[in-house]
Structures are given as C-alpha cells and as structure tokens.
C-alpha cells in the first residue's frame, strides 16, 4: 500500500509538472514587440521577451531600486549602433517566467529612463534569450500566446537553427540571396540588413528612403535607409517587406557575422517554435503576410515633460511640407493633450494605410500654431 501511494504521488507530481509546462503565457504587443508577465522576488512585472539579447536578463534601475536589490560593479554594454550604456549587476533571489524558475540569478541593471522617453513607454526589464536556452518556445502570434516546452511538437516542417552566443540564427533568403539571420523578438522592425550585407547588395542609388530614424538604441537613435524586399524563411514568404538597410560602422548592426535580423512583426501572423535544445525552427502555420508599412507623415516623436517632441523629420514628407522641424513640441494630437497620448499606438496609427488628416497644435519656442498633416505612403 505504501509503495502504491508513493507511485501515485510520483505520477501526481509528474502530471502537475506537465500541466505547468503546457500552461500558455499570454503576451501583449507594444511597439511591435512582445511583453510578458514575470515574477521578480515575488513581485509581478511586465518584461520584454527579447531573443536578440543573448546575455543576462535585465531589469530597470527604477524597478531594482523599488525591490531593494543590491547593485554591484559597473560595466558597459553595446547596442545595435554606436555608443555604450553603463550598467551594474544584481542578484535576484527568484525569477519566474511561466514554468521557468531561476534561483539566485544575476541580472543586468540598466537605467532605461532616456530610452523610455524616445520609445514612449516604460521598460521594466528584459527576458534574454539565454534564459530560454534549455527549452522549446512556441510563439503563436495571432493568439498572442507563448507555450514553453509544449507537450506535443507543432505541425509543420522544421529547419536547422544555429545558436550563437545565445542567439537563434536561421538561414533565410532576401531578394533570392541566402544569409544567416538573427531571430530578434526585441526588434520593432520587420527586417534589418546589417551594414556589410546591405552595402554588398543594395547600392545607395537604389535605396528608396535615406537617413531615416527607425528606432532608438540604448543611447542613441538608429538611423537607417529603407527599401522593400522579397523575404522567405522556410514556407513563410513575404513578397513585399519593409526593410531597414543599416549604415552603422559600429555596434551590432555593423556585424559581418550575420546578414541581418528578423524582427517580431514579420512573425506577427505566424505560429513558430524556437527549439533551443534540438536547434530547430518550426513555422507551424502562417497567416497572411504582414502588411509592412512605414510612418505616413515622416517624423519620429519622443515624449517630453508636457509635449511630444519632434526628434527628426524626413525631407519632403507631409511633416516637412507642413513646416515641422526637429525640436518642435506637439501640445495636442487631434484634440488630445500630448501628455495623455499613447505614443506606440500613435506610431501604429501613422503607419497604417488610413488617409485621415492629423491635426496638431505645435509649439516652437514661444510660438504656438495649428498644423494639419495629410498622411501618404512614403515608401
């Protein structure tokens, strides 16, 4: 009887473990990137799931201070472009992401305050790819769910996946040219071709938009050229994909080790599994190709104290033709006060195909004026 009870207990524990591994994790998409709920020393928080970060998990200095984490040491980390960010480290007693639990884990502690102004939302921390190293991660874009070590393999044909410094790397084709690409769920763009690859295959005269701020790195804006390409990985084929052509000479985007990176928006309509253990990528199903669009008014906005700040303006764009300049302050957008505007949602709206005019109240120095922008496709 004792032995039978022991067997039942073992089976019960096994069933609990199986159920835990199969429990889906929901995510929300903010500015083209997946954010998941985690637990840091028992406190819930929303973290970016970033397969393009192969190092330690990261936590914002603000959240680390609120949790009374002891910060030690100082070092610097590099991002996609030039510049380094000074960071420290702290030990988290217990970190939970779904069924993944880390004990006494070292976290990078970074001050994201300046970055948050430019991206327009709060970044509490990052779940790095190294945390996923011993697992299968299934990301269902349409259902906004993540399964870690699901009990059954997904349908579909899998392709080889290399793991380089914690990064998942897959072979793909862009305009028929094969290359090695990082799968980067922390990238808001669809596809980025790194400088050496872009320079070899895309002459400057063929680039449709030049010198565009397409995001922000750890310490500085990411300025790239833009074009449209045909892209394919496994049976996911996108015949017309908005593509960044990197121009950086320093940082990750200057790397010659890879052709580029695939951002999360390219997989937004797909169901994929990244198998870090068996080194396989499976695209279980793929919905319609993403409708990749760029900002239809031609400006990058950051958040100021009581306004949205115009960081950059694309020449000949609706913003430029309306007289907007870097440094201008937007006090309201379509009658909504700037302080209450959800900046990622505004970016998404301005990248949509809708033709609705955008009404702004603009302050430049001591001059306040009303401006109307008529969006149009720039690429």
pLDDT in tens, 343-370: 999 999 999 867 789 999 999 888 999 9
Summarised one tens digit per residue, pLDDT across range 194-211 is: 999 999 999 998 899 999
Tell whether the model's pLDDT for residue 284 goes beyond 90.
no
Q: Higher confidence at residue 354 or residue 134? A: 134
pLDDT of residue 361: 97
- Segment 159-168 shows an average pLDDT of 93
pLDDT of residue 356: 86
CA dist., res. 227 & res. 221, Å (int): 19
70 and 113 belong to one structural domain: yes
- Segment 8-12 shows an average pLDDT of 40
228 and 280 belong to one structural domain: yes
CATH code, domain with 109: 2.40.70.10
Pairing of strands 260-263, 358-364: unpaired
- Segment 113-137 shows an average pLDDT of 94
- Segment 207-232 shows an average pLDDT of 93
Going through 278-320 in order, the beta strands assigned E by DSSP cover 280-286, 299-303, 308-313
276 and 163 belong to one structural domain: yes
pTM: 0.90
41 and 145 belong to one structural domain: no
Q: Is residue 54 part of a domain?
A: yes
Tell whether the model's pLDDT for residue 13 goes beyond 50.
no
Range of the domain at 104: 18-132
Q: How confident is the model at residue 251 (pLDDT cuts 50, 70, 90)?
A: confident
- Segment 225-244 shows an average pLDDT of 93
Tell whether the model's pLDDT for residue 287 goes beyond 50.
yes
pLDDT of residue 15: 38
Tell whether the model's pLDDT for residue 42 goes beyond 60.
yes
110 and 89 belong to one structural domain: yes
Summarised one tens digit per residue, pLDDT across range 54-102 is: 888 999 999 999 999 999 998 887 777 767 788 999 999 999 999 999 9
198 and 123 belong to one structural domain: no
Q: Is residue 95 part of a domain?
A: yes
- Segment 221-236 shows an average pLDDT of 93
Summarised one tens digit per residue, pLDDT across range 178-197 is: 999 999 999 999 999 999 99
- Segment 252-268 shows an average pLDDT of 94
The total domain count for the chain is 3
- What percent of the chain shows pLDDT beyond 70? 93
pLDDT of residue 204: 92
DSSP for 202-247, please give it.
S-GGG-SEEEEEEEE-SSSEEEEEEEEEEEEETTEEEEEEEEEEE-
The whole-chain average pLDDT of the chain stands at 90
Q: Is residue 331 part of a domain?
A: yes
Domain closes at, from 228, 259, 286: 286
113 and 47 belong to one structural domain: yes
CA dist., res. 344 & res. 346, Å (int): 5
Q: Which residues contact 301 (CB under 8 A, 6 or more apart)?
A: 120, 308, 309, 310, 311, 330, 343, 346, 347
Q: Is residue 7 part of a domain?
A: no
Q: How confident is the model at residue 271 (pLDDT cuts 50, 70, 90)?
A: very high
Tell whether the model's pLDDT for residue 156 goes beyond 60.
yes
Q: Is residue 10 part of a domain?
A: no
pLDDT of residue 104: 97
Q: How confident is the model at residue 152 (pLDDT cuts 50, 70, 90)?
A: confident
Q: In what helix (H) or strand (E) does residue 77 lie, and over which residues does it extend?
A: strand 72-78
Tell whether the model's pLDDT for residue 5 goes beyond 90.
no
* Exposed / middle / buried, residue 10 (Cβ in 10 Å: 0-12, 13-18, 19+): exposed
> Can you tell me whether residue 153 is helix, strand or coil?
coil
94 and 171 belong to one structural domain: no
For residue 25, give both structure tokens.
Answer: 């994790």
247 and 307 belong to one structural domain: no
65 and 166 belong to one structural domain: no
158 and 75 belong to one structural domain: no
CATH code, domain with 368: 2.30.42.10
Q: Is residue 119 part of a domain?
A: yes
- Segment 258-267 shows an average pLDDT of 96
Domain closes at, from 264, 286, 308: 286
Summarised one tens digit per residue, pLDDT across range 309-342 is: 999 999 999 999 999 999 999 999 999 999 999 9
pLDDT of residue 22: 52
Q: Is residue 378 part of a domain?
A: no
Domain closes at, from 78, 107, 132: 132
109 and 157 belong to one structural domain: no
**CA-closest candidate to residue 38, choices 13, 60, 68:** 60
Q: Is residue 294 part of a domain?
A: no
Tell whether the model's pLDDT for residue 4 goes beyond 70.
no
Tell whether the model's pLDDT for residue 2 goes beyond 60.
no
């Amino acid at each position: 009887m004792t032995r039978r009870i022991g067997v039942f207990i073992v089976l019960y524990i096994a069933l609990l473990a199986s159920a835990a591994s199969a429990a889906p994790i929901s995510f929300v998409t903010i500015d083209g990137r997946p954010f998941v709920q985690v637990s840091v020393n028992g406190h819930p928080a929303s973290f970016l799931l970033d397969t393009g970060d192969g190092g330690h998990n990261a936590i914002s200095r603000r959240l680390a201070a609120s949790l009374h984490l002891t910060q030690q040491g100082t070092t610097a980390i590099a991002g996609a472009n030039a510049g380094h960010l000074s960071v420290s480290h702290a030990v988290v007693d217990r970190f939970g992401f779904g069924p993944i639990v880390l004990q006494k884990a070292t976290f990078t502690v970074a001050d994201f305050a300046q970055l948050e102004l430019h991206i327009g939302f709060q970044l509490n921390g990052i779940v790095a790819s190294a945390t996923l190293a011993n697992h299968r991660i299934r990301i269902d874009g349409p259902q906004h769910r993540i399964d870690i070590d699901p009990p059954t393999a997904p349908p579909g044909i899998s392709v080889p996946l290399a793991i380089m410094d914690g990064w998942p790397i897959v072979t793909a084709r862009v305009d028929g040219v094969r290359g090695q690409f990082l799968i980067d769920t922390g990238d808001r763009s669809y596809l980025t071709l790194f400088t050496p690859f872009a320079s070899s295959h895309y002459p400057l005269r063929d680039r449709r938009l030049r010198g565009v701020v397409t995001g922000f790195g750890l310490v500085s804006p990411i300025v790239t050229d833009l074009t449209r390409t045909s892209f394919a990985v496994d049976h996911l084929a996108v015949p017309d994909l908005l593509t960044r052509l990197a121009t950086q000479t320093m940082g990750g985007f200057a790397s010659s080790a890879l052709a580029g990176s695939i951002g999360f928006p390219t997989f937004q309509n797909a169901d994929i599994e990244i198998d870090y253990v068996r080194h396989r990528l499976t695209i279980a199903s793929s919905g319609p190709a993403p409708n990749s669009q760029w900002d239809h008014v031609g400006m990058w906005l950051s958040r100021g104290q009581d306004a949205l700040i115009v960081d950059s303006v694309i020449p000949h764009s609706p913003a430029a033709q309306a007289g907007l300049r870097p440094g201008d302050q937007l006090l309201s957008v379509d009658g909504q006060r700037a302080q209450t505007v959800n900046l990622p949602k505004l970016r998404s709206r301005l990248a949509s195909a809708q033709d609705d005019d955008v009404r702004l109240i603009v302050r430049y120095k001591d001059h306040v004026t009303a401006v109307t922008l008529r969006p149009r496709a720039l690429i």
